[in-house]
Copies of this chain bind each other. A is one copy, B any other.
Amino acid sequence: MASGKSVAIVGATGAVGLEFLTCLERRNFPVGRLRLLASARSVGKTLTFRGESLPVEELKPESFKDVEIGLFSAGAAISREYAPMAVKAGVTVVDNSSAFRMDPEVPLVVPEINPEDIRHHKGIIANPNCSTIIALVPVYAIHRRNPVRRMIVATYQAASGAGAKAMEELRVQAADVLAGKPAVKKVFRHQIAFNLFSHNSKIAENGYNEEENKMVKETWKIFHDVTVKISATCVRVPVFRAHSEAIWIECERPVEEAQVREWLTGAPGLRVVDDREGNTFPMPIDASGEEDVLVGRIRRDYSRDDGRGISLFVAGDQLLKGAALNAVQIAEILVNGAVAPNRASTGVVRLPFSPDTAVLPR
């Protein structure tokens, strides 16, 4: 233990924070010391890591002394305030919030896609938005062989994306509705139990909500390609912790279904679940607790005549690959210097993305 890294988790008691602990333990991350940081009201709680009970400490400017790696998931405001302090104290921050994702100095990384971008970091590496990660792991397996020119995405997003309280709200509302009582709304503006609604983020001027616009801009930055055309409809569904997505992609050249199946089967971070006979495809309950993103319903998009369209259905754990796991994978690369196979073979180290080219369509 003493030879491991000194790690701090910021937002340790949140839904993602708890998964940081699980991921570090399960993946045998070389943790020397672990500090659990949260707001003052969590002080007094303890969390278990490798059988040891650790106290939750209050997050303060001086919390980062002797910390090497900081895993942040306490919202954008906390990240904006504390991540620069942590960097000044010598910490390398992997930030799960949206605070720095579009910062040209900050790499935005999915380890299966652009691990080499990590090399450009100046103290902070950003974790992409959950629905973006879960879509891009499978889409990139195609994109790297036959560039994706257009992408249509409809999401089926779990309550977990809005935190532990939203998961609890789904549970309480479902029990109340079953008992014939009205659904009490606290976290979400609309009833989540036995209902669904357009994603609970603000609608931008272009008519798309923030979640949808994130998918556009983050894909551009992760793919290093601002020419990919994307339209997404993001929807919250009454599911606890895994996001599903229906995806239609249009490639640069004609693409065969069998070829796509082969690419997806061999790609890191993916598991193909495509049993037509048994009518079994990716489902959120199967993706929950899984590190891999599940991908299936692989079929030609017959609404295109030119053979350039493919349709997929995916499901991935929002708290794992959509958040904590992806961040821990980034931390693993920081520690090992290892870069996932996909792009390393090209030997290309691209410059960090400039947001000047990332103007949203309107």
A266 to chain B, nearest CB (A): 20
On whether the beta carbons of B311 and A233 are closer than 8 Å, the reply is yes
Closest to A200 in B: B279
On whether the beta carbons of B191 and A285 are closer than 8 Å, the reply is yes
Closest to A154 in B: B154
Report B-chain residues with C-beta under 8 Å of the C-beta of A283.
Answer: 190-191, 195-197
A189 to chain B, nearest CB (A): 6
Closest to A250 in B: B303
On whether the beta carbons of A257 and B154 are closer than 8 Å, the reply is no
Kindly state the separation between the CA atoms of A191 and B209 in the bound complex, as whole angstroms. 30
On whether the beta carbons of B207 and A303 are closer than 8 Å, the reply is no
Report B-chain residues with C-beta under 8 Å of the C-beta of A302.
Answer: 206, 208, 216, 229-231, 361-362
A174 to chain B, nearest CB (A): 6
A11 within 8 A of B: no
On whether the beta carbons of A279 and B198 are closer than 8 Å, the reply is yes
| CB proximity to B under 8 Å, residues A286-322 | 296-305, 309, 311, 313
Most B-side CB within 10 Å, residue of A197, A244, A305 = A197
A81 to chain B, nearest CB (A): 27
What is the size, in residues, of chain A's interface with B at 8 Å between Cβ atoms? 63
Contacting chain B: which of A34-42, A55-63, A122-130, A234-242?
A234-242
Among B152, B279, B361, the residue within 8 A (CB) of A248 is B152
Most B-side CB within 10 Å, residue of A154, A203, A311, A362 = A154
Closest to A282 in B: B198
A335 within 8 A of B: no
On whether the beta carbons of A311 and B248 are closer than 8 Å, the reply is no
On whether the beta carbons of A198 and B313 are closer than 8 Å, the reply is yes
Among B154, B178, B195, B209, the residue within 8 A (CB) of A246 is B154
A156 within 8 A of B: yes
On whether the beta carbons of B194 and A285 are closer than 8 Å, the reply is yes
Most B-side CB within 10 Å, residue of A207, A257, A362 = A207
On whether the beta carbons of B301 and A231 are closer than 8 Å, the reply is yes
Report B-chain residues with C-beta under 8 Å of the C-beta of A156.
Answer: 156, 196, 235, 237
A218 to chain B, nearest CB (A): 15
Kindly state the separation between the CA atoms of A311 and B152 in the bound complex, as whole angstroms. 10
Binary flags per residue of A174-204, CB closer than 8 Å to B gives 1, else 0: 1100100000000001110011111010110
On whether the beta carbons of A151 and B303 are closer than 8 Å, the reply is yes
Report B-chain residues with C-beta under 8 Å of the C-beta of A194.
Answer: 170, 174, 238-240, 284-285
Q: List 13 A-B residue pairs with CB atoms under 8 Å apart, sorted by A's residue number.
A: A150-B303, A151-B303, A152-B303, A189-B278, A194-B238, A194-B285, A195-B284, A200-B279, A207-B300, A231-B248, A231-B301, A231-B303, A302-B362
Sort A-B residue pairs by CB-CB distance and give the 9 closest, nearest first.
A207-B299, A154-B154, A302-B361, A229-B303, A231-B303, A154-B246, A233-B246, A203-B276, A198-B281
* A→B interface (CB under 8 Å): 150-152, 154, 156, 170-171, 174-175, 178, 189-191, 194-198, 200, 202-203, 206-209, 216, 229-231, 233, 235, 237-240, 244, 246, 248, 257, 276-281, 283-285, 296-305, 309, 311, 313, 361-362
